[in-house]
């Protein structure tokens, strides 16, 4: 076994894995405050990337501004989704809401296709294309951006949920909506906020991923799916689990492609995921599930 190859597999795995982890983070926030799984999460990632390209190419803005505006625009999109699609059916059961989010994701994808066309777009890397050599393996500077931003967002989320009143209120909503609202927490506002935050996370993810993965109107489908798998792997509702789940999934895929067969790399990762869920149904870091009514 060649050590620099192994290192290369690990680096590739961590890069792809952090893309899954970023998508997975958004799932946990909405799940934590509403108990639903937002299948439009992948679309937030897509919007982040596409808006960045849009602001940069069409308005000629510098990349930092483009990414900032893209994040804002996606946050507004997240808020609109909550107001127009989720709130009107708020009494419905979680399963109905989940189906609403699937509808929303198809709608957004269609809209993006009509507005931006079906082409794939590339965003320039934030700090150059010159690979960094690490013990015979190569790494793109953009991968460091992805890893760094993911870690920063995780830390920010952690601080938000455990040290701010808003964050605590949001967690309270996920444990018991009724009790939370009796305590004077505006549940509807919290749900709105959770959609905006997860849209923001998705959008930032989409923008920093676009130089590596390229972006197009349908890039959200796969990221949503892999992100969801990462979420389940890490344990639903735990942001750290979600991020770690993404990394594990990415590394498994990369090692599978390198040492087994690239034709079966997806299957290989999902077989391990299934095996893990047989042993630990709540995921790596999940709490034992509590019945919600």
Partner 1 sequence: MKRIVLCCAVVLGLVFGLALGQSQAAEPLKIGAVLSVTGPASFLGEPEKNTLLMLEEQINAKGGVAGRKLEVIVYDDESDVNKAVLSAQKLTKKDRVAAVLGPSISGSTLGIMKFFEESQIPLISCAASEKIVNPVNKWVFNTPQLDRHAVIKILQAAKKKGVKSLAILTVSDGYGQSGRAVLQELIPAQGFTLAADEVYGPKDTDMTAQLTKIKELGPDAIICWGTNPGPAVVARNMKQLGLTTPLYMSHGVASDKFIELAGPAADGIMLPAGRLIVAGQLPDAHPQKKLLLDYAAQYQAKYKAPVSSFGGYAWDALMLVVKAVEMGKSARPEDIRDNLEKIQGFVATTGTYTYTPANHNGLDESAFVLVVIDKGGWKIID
CB nearer partner 1, residue 88 or residue 110: 110
Alpha helices in the chain (DSSP H): 3-34, 41-59, 63-81, 94-116, 141-163, 165-175, 177-182, 187-213, 219-234, 239-255, 265-279
CB nearer partner 1, residue 29 or residue 139: 139
The minimum distance between CB 6 and partner 1, in angstroms, equals 9
Q: Partners of 132 in the beta sheet?
A: 139
Find how far residue 112's CA is from the centre of its chain: 19
Binding segment (CB under 8 A) for partner 1, from list 89-97, 165-173, 174-182, 212-220: 212-220
Burial of 278 (0-12, 13-18, 19+ CB in 10 A): exposed
The minimum distance between CB 110 and partner 1, in angstroms, equals 10
139 and 7 Cβ atoms separated by less than 8 Å? no
Binding segment (CB under 8 A) for partner 1, from list 40-48, 74-82, 256-264, 277-285: 256-264
What count of Cα atoms within 13 Å lies in the side-chain half-sphere of residue 91? 0
CB nearer partner 1, residue 34 or residue 143: 143
DSSP-derived letter for residue 262 is: G
Q: Partners of 138 in the beta sheet?
A: 133
The minimum distance between CB 222 and partner 1, in angstroms, equals 4
The answer to the question of residue 150 lying near partner 1 (CB under 8 A) is no
Binding segment (CB under 8 A) for partner 1, from list 43-51, 88-96, 183-191, 263-271: 263-271
The minimum distance between CB 128 and partner 1, in angstroms, equals 11
- Residue corresponding to tokens 């399963």: 95
The answer to the question of residue 254 lying near partner 1 (CB under 8 A) is yes
54 and 73 Cβ atoms separated by less than 8 Å? no
CB nearer partner 1, residue 15 or residue 28: 15
Site for partner 1 in 112-131 (CB under 8 A): 118-122, 129, 131
CA 261 – CA 256 distance, rounded (Å): 6
DSSP-derived letter for residue 127 is: T
The minimum distance between CB 215 and partner 1, in angstroms, equals 9
Binder to partner 1 among 8, 101, 174, 238 (CB under 8 A)? Answer: 8
Contacts of residue 220, defined as CB under 8 A and 6 or more positions apart, other chains included, come to 41, 42, 43, 44, 45, 46, 47, 105, 108, 109
The answer to the question of residue 140 lying near partner 1 (CB under 8 A) is yes
Binding segment (CB under 8 A) for partner 1, from list 63-71, 181-189, 215-223, 279-287: 215-223
Q: Which residues would be at the binding site for partner 1 (CB under 8 A)?
A: 2, 5, 8-9, 11-13, 15-16, 19, 118-122, 129, 131, 133, 138-140, 209, 212-214, 216, 218-219, 221-222, 253-255, 257-258, 261-263, 265-266
């Amino acid at each position: 076994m060649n050590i620099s190859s192994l290192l290369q597999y690990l680096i590739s795995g961590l890069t792809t894995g952090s893309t899954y982890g970023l998508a997975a983070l958004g799932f946990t926030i909405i799940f934590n405050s509403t108990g639903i799984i937002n299948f439009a999460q992948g679309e937030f990632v897509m919007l982040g990337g596409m808006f960045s390209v849009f602001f940069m190419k069409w308005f000629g803005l510098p990349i930092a501004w483009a990414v900032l505006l893209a994040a804002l625009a996606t946050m507004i999109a997240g808020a609109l989704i909550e107001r127009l699609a989720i709130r009107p059916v708020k009494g419905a059961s979680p399963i109905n809401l989940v189906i609403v989010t699937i509808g929303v994701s198809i709608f957004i994808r269609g809209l993006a296709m009509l507005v931006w066309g079906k082409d794939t777009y590339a965003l320039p890397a934030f700090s150059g294309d010159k690979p960094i050599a690490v013990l015979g393996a190569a790494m793109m500077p953009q991968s460091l951006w992805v890893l760094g931003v993911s870690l920063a967002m995780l830390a920010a989320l952690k601080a938000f949920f455990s040290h701010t009143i808003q964050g605590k209120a949001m967690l309270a909503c996920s444990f018991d909506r009724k009790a939370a609202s009796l305590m004077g927490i505006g549940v509807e506002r919290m749900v709105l906020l959770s959609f905006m935050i997860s849209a923001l996370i998705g959008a930032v993810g989409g923008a920093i991923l676009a130089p590596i993965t390229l972006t197009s109107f349908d890039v959200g489908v796969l990221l949503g799916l892999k992100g969801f798998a990462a979420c389940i792997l890490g344990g639903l509702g735990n942001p750290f689990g979600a991020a770690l789940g993404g990394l594990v999934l990415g590394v498994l895929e990369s090692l599978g492609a390198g040492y087994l067969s690239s034709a079966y790399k997806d299957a290989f990762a999902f077989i391990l995921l299934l095996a893990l869920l047989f042993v630990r149904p709540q995921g790596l870091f999940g709490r034992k599930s509590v019945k919600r009514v």
